[in-house]
């Protein structure tokens, strides 16, 4: 079986190549696993960003649509404040007359 040292060298070389192949396969397996997890994280981040973007767009739409209602509300409050101010002045003038 082992007639020369060259045969022994070939057996050692074959085992070395086998172990090198196993080691490279093991590294590739873990690299592929890492890249798969990174891909999942990127997809989750993109989904989250998309949801935030949709929320901001919806919020902006609601603000723009409600701005006319808000202006109406502000005018209503101003008129109410004027009426209260007039009422207070009338009450004060009545008190001073008495």
Residue-wise pLDDT for 71-98, tens only, equals 777 888 888 888 777 766 665 666 666 5
Rounded Cα distance between 70 and 65, Å, is 9
Task: Give pLDDT, residue 86.
Answer: 73
Range 18-35 average pLDDT: 98
Q: What is the pLDDT of residues 46-73, one digit of tens each?
A: 999 999 999 999 988 877 777 667 777 7
**At CA 42, angle to CA 38 and CA 48, rounded to 5?**
145
């Amino acid at each position: 079986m082992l007639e020369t040292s060259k045969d022994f060298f070939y057996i050692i070389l074959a085992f070395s190549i086998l172990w090198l192949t196993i080691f490279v396969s093991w590294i590739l397996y873990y690299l592929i696993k890492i890249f798969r997890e990174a891909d999942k994280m990127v997809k989750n981040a993109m989904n989250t960003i998309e949801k935030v973007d949709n929320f901001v767009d919806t919020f902006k739409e609601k603000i723009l649509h409600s701005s006319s209602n808000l202006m109406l509300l502000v005018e209503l409050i101003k008129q109410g404040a004027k009426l209260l101010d007039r009422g207070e002045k009338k009450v004060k003038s009545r008190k001073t007359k008495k």
